[in-house]
Structure 1
């Protein structure tokens, strides 16, 4: 074999596992594999996981914070206005440079698959061309999936539907939408119908910004679920944000959850952004903003977490760390049981990989040898510590590495240092 990783802990809790890799794929998995390899890596009882996956991002705006000015209010609407001001000044070279820089950050964080929405309301489709170029450049080390996003509204923005179709013909992967931003509820529902029919005709996936509002009467997820069933799109559709659900009454939600589950529509929450942009008109008590993640999971709906924004007109923070996203999601949704914390880890790994339809994802024979060795003894500990990525592998080759996290102490009578882990480094988690 090309490589064997020894003494790994897997996200499901199995410990003392060896992973045999050959030809860029996992070919063997088990305890104390009796095999020879060109290279051996001792995981030392640390967590080895498939790479992180970001199910919802905006790479056309990434790292543009402060252009043309800072979002002084920090609100969603000022961010949209800022993006409108910035678009005429965008250049393809600048878009590509910022996106490639962020992809470097992503690889260093063990984030090797990203679904990014790209604005198609600019007649030039400048951002589309730029991100298609980026997709080609990063393909050897990162899976980039593009969503055609009519950010100013499919029916509200002249030519947006034609632009979206042009973008798909250029090579964009997924049909996007934003029904709650149309002029009326009726036009929002009409945009969902039109986009889902187009996706069904073309055999494409759908991922819509849906009900990103505090208005409990914004119920486009209901239409999205209905159209998904009507058109046979089950398993190919996601509703992103769904924040109006946090304001809906429980009776309506009790009807809505089974409809979403039956339709096979996945939900993508964006904890860092939902908790900061929503509830802005509230005094106290303030709504949290994030959709009903535990209830969706209990109903059998696939739920993933996305980063959404990093240093752009909407969000002046972020660094591409999906463990930070999972950490926020865990807290906002009060998912603090052991099972729920494990679900938060799944929401930035296996679940978004399933939503994106990634081929060969996982830690099992036959899967791609895309792996991350984390400075943690379990998935829960990885979230707690936002653990350092000791090694990041793509197709069995190391593409990034970082030292374990530790601090030295200078205290009389105390240890020389700490590593913040519950168990000593190298001990397998129970």
Structure 2
């Protein structure tokens, strides 16, 4: 992808609309990569960009994706479409991964994500004795090479198990000591899921890092591990530093139990990421009729005070054989399956891929206010709600005040 360069320093954006005042044209000022209230005096005049009355929103945030195993469907055979098959097929394909292979596939996804308005991404990276640090080293290179357009946060985790897989913990520790940002987990891959959870908390405390766990990924309400995560969070004082992804078991709980669980999660500051594309594709396959939707019930969790986000998870592999890394599309999909349609509900879906995601990953200086990093996108949409309702595509995006891409709108040729 060709980078769009402009003069660094000062930029004045005019003729634009903000979500807080969608009917009023205004301007934004940028200096040295951040929004400012006033530009300082300099020898050269600031660059001025007319945004044609379009809507400006902060850049989108991908809170849960797997760059290292993206775009491998041509190496896999899909017959059952189950989680078990996805894990087995991906594990077999992973045995042939090389650093350059992971880099190229990850770059392909990053190119797409940038043009979808994403400016920050948390990617999970698998570590185990089979793959070693191959995926991690490739993603570290991508982190550096794509910093001009997207900030990449690396979460290392044991997809193949931790306690059952000797040598994995040493690799996780090595990665955390060499640039990984946080630690993930996959408790259902160990014979003792609670034991993995407890060990991950011990490691998180040792390395003073956040946790992001794949959890309770089926539709059987029995055997839920969320209570153990809540208990460990409170025990270690890790409130608002623990995120759990998938958690589709929550969708199978009766209302009273769901509310009790959600209130406990809110009190402990345990956060939830829903991954609708993957969760809809993999779950409910044993149902012959009235197939369940099987997606974490974010509206009910949000109402109880749980911090929430939406994300992509996988693209082009047995977990999710499709996708274009559009968080707006994920938010629209979630709105559809969750019966969300009012302007307020649609705006909240957008928040779950933007400002609420920023809160979840503790991203500082996010937004359009003076002092915030100038990471933003421009859309031809009337309001935040219509962005989700109409699947608006970003026209351009900026990272630290530098334009990262531009999309030319379609033009009708008839008449």
Q: Decide which of 256, 265, 269 is 1:264's aligned counterpart.
A: 269
State the Cα distance separating 1:126 from its structure 2 match: 1.1
**1:206-285 correspondence runs (5 A):** 206-285=211-290
Which residue is equivalent to 2:362? 357
d(CA) in 2 for partners of 1:398, 1:140: 9
Partner of 1:324: 329
For 2:58 and 2:226, how far apart are their aligned partners in 1? 30
In 2, the alpha carbon distance for the partners of 1:405 and 1:364 equals: 32
Contact 1:63 1:311 (C-alpha < 8 Å) held by counterparts: yes
Size of the aligned set, in residue pairs, is: 400
Mapped partners of 2:270, 2:15: distance in 1: 38
Per-residue deviation, 1:395? 1.2
Matching residue of 2:53: 45
CA drift at 1:406: 4.9
Q: Show the 5 A alignment for 1:72-83.
A: 72-83=79-90
Residue 302 and residue 405 in structure 1: after superposition, are their counterparts in 2 closer, same or farther (change >3 A)?
farther
Which of 143, 158, 163 is residue 135 of structure 1 equivalent to? 143
Alpha-carbon distance between aligned partners in 2 of 1:226 and 1:328, rounded to the nearest angstrom: 32
- For the pair 1:108 / 2:115, whether they are aligned, the reply is yes
Query: Of 394, 397, 405, which aligns to 2:399?
Result: 394
Alpha-carbon distance, 1:408 to partner: 4.4
The RMSD of aligned alpha carbons is 1.7
Distance 1:13 1:222 in 2: 42
Q: Which stretches of structure 1, 4 residues or longer, exceed 6 Å deviation after superposition?
A: none
Q: 1:71 to 1:12 in 2, by over 3 A?
A: farther
Question: Is 2:163 aligned against 1:180?
Answer: no
Give, in whole Å, the separation in 2 of the partners of 1:360 and 1:127.
30
Report the equivalent of 2:4: none
Q: Aligned-pair distance for 1:237?
A: 0.9
Where do residues 16-165 of structure 1 align in structure 2 (5 Å cutoff)?
16-28=25-37, 38-67=46-75, 69-123=76-130, 124-165=132-173
Q: Is the CA contact 2:216–2:246 (under 8 Å) kept in the aligned structure 1?
A: yes
Deviation at 1:313? 2.6
Aligned pair 1:12/2:17, yes or no?
A: no
Preserved CA contact (<8 Å) 2:129 2:167: no
Distance, in Å, in 2 between the alignment partners of 1:395 and 1:176 is 28
Secondary structure of the equivalent of 1:55? strand
Task: Assess, with a 3 A threshold, how the Cα gap between structure 1 residues 253 and 136 changes in structure 2: closer, same or farther.
Answer: same
Which blocks of at least 5 consecutive residues in structure 1 are unaligned? Answer: 30-35, 411-430
| CA deviations over 1:265-289 (Å, ceiling 9, x no partner) | 1110011111111111112211101
CA distance in 2, matches of 1:324, 1:351: 17
In the alignment, is the contact (CA less than 8 A) between 2:62 and 2:122 conserved in 1? yes
CA distance in 1, matches of 2:356, 2:411: 31
Q: Which residue of 2 aligns with 1:205?
A: 210
Which of 402, 409, 415 aligns to 1:404? It is 409
Contact 1:4 1:37 in 2 (8 A): no
Q: Which runs of 5+ in 2 are unaligned?
A: 1-8, 39-43
Aligned position for 1:419: none
Distance 1:218 1:383 in 2: 35
Determine if contact 2:346/2:389 at 8 Å carries over to the other structure.
Answer: no
Rounded to whole Å, the distance in 1 between the matches of 2:179 and 2:149 is: 19
Q: Normalising by structure 2, what TM-score?
A: 0.92
Distance 1:371 1:24 in 2: 11
Give the superposition deviation at 1:157. Answer: 2.2
Contact 1:115 1:147 in 2 (8 A): yes
Contact 1:372 1:393 in 2 (8 A): yes
